[in-house]
Amino acid sequence: MEDVVDVAPTRGPLAGVLVADFSRILAGPYATMLLADLGADVVKVEGPAGDDTRTWTPPARSETSTYYLGINRGKRSMALDLRDSEDLRIAQELARRADVLIENFKPGGMARFGLDFASVRATNAGIVYASISGFGSGPGAKVPGYDLMVQAMSGLMSLTGDPDGPPFRAGISVFDVMAGNHAAIGILAALRHRDSTGQGQHVEVNLLSSALTGLVNHSSAYVAGGTVPYRMGNAHPSVFPYEPLPTADNDLVVTAANDGQFRRLCEVLGIPEIAEDPRFLTNADRTRRREELRPILVERLAARGALEWFDLLIDAGVPCGPINTIDGGFMMAQRFGLDPIVEVGHGDRAVPTTRHPIRFSETPVQYELPPPELDEHGPELRKWLNTPTDERDA
């Protein structure tokens, strides 16, 4: 990356990597936030109206959508109208100087601006160009890519909900997040390849492929076993107990997934003989006879509340956890010393955000820039992009 005046701090494992972020909504911005956390200089290119998620309210913080705030820290914003010739020239110059370009336009949509992979590569041979779509660049290119659609079309919704009830969506845009993670992984791998060869490449990620690999054991059940999984509510098809069970107050997720854990569960519940019962000796036995075993466990769990059982069972080495609301999840992370909330920015611009999930012993994550206002850094970026700064401009 070339020297830039007033740039974001360039510490971290991705220090010196310039990312031109032409993505919007969730999958792309989530990926670029992860890269920014790791030290990349991310320039968020927005249309004149800004990223759609800026206005996705409620909830909001100081009139800005918390949705937007949650996935855009560490970036600098520049508003460009790609239909304007001067703004388009600026965008193309940014692409020429970038190490990484990421976009989630409809497949082929960047070509009309001369910002597609082939056009960018013609002036920037080392570019790592990442495209995120809903259904790939083939016959599925004409289908808009929304997470809810992919949850339906991938089969996830057929697995979510009560066995006798309707299919349900997951509580988050799970495949947008998964595709964002896959895009970040692909970008890092392509940068490693470029370090070795000097060559950039096109990295393509689509939500449906991310969904199918993300269905893991359910995908394998079909691909390798010819079995179409079905909706089981909170039950696991291959392990028991591995689901919420009622206690004296709230449900507790109990995941005694092997024989040792099941023995310890029975000991804490005061029924050690159940672990030796021929009906329940192995996981396969317990899974086949779950309807016999469940009421035995529920009867014992009724003696205490979920949090009390949590402490007792965890101390005994039995995996379990209370079903929290989001605030409870953050409080649990705080209890475990994970410090889940970090404040980004200073003074009136300080924004609480969720800590990056990866920790590094040598290059810790930096939280320097709050989510940017629309075109907040436009003047300095335009000045830089209009100034020859390397030998290619001589």
CA torsion sign, 35 to 37 to 40 to 43? positive
90 Rama sector, left if φ>0, alpha if ψ -120 to 50, beta otherwise: alpha
Positive or negative, the CA dihedral 135, 185, 100, 381 is positive
CA distance 379 to 387: 12
Q: Residues 6 or more apart from 305 whose CB is under 8 A from it?
A: 247, 248, 249, 250
Rounded Cα distance, 330 and 337, in Å: 11
Q: Which of 39, 111, 124, 26 is nearest to 74 (CA)?
A: 39
Active site residue 37: no
- What CA–CA distance (Å, rounded) separates 40 from 15? 5
Tokens found for residue 366: 């930096």
Which strand (E) or helix (H) includes residue 67? Answer: helix 66-69
**Rounded Cα–Cα distance for residues 58 and 104 (Å):** 25
3-state secondary structure of 76: strand
Which of 216, 174, 157, 194 is CA-nearest to residue 30? Answer: 174
Query: Catalytic: which of 51, 99, 116, 176?
Result: 176
Place of tokens 């997934």: 257
DSSP 351-390: EEEEPPS---SSS------PSPPTTTTHHHHHHHHTS--S
Alpha helix stretches (DSSP H) within 270-346? 272-276, 283-288, 290-301, 306-315, 326-335
Token reading at 295: 């009421």
Residue length, the chain?
A: 394
Helix residue ranges, H only, 205-305? 207-214, 216-223, 259-269, 272-276, 283-288, 290-301
Burial code (b: 16+ CB inside 10 Å, e: under 16) for 201-219 equals bbbbbbbbbbbbebbeebb
- Active-site residues, by number, are 176
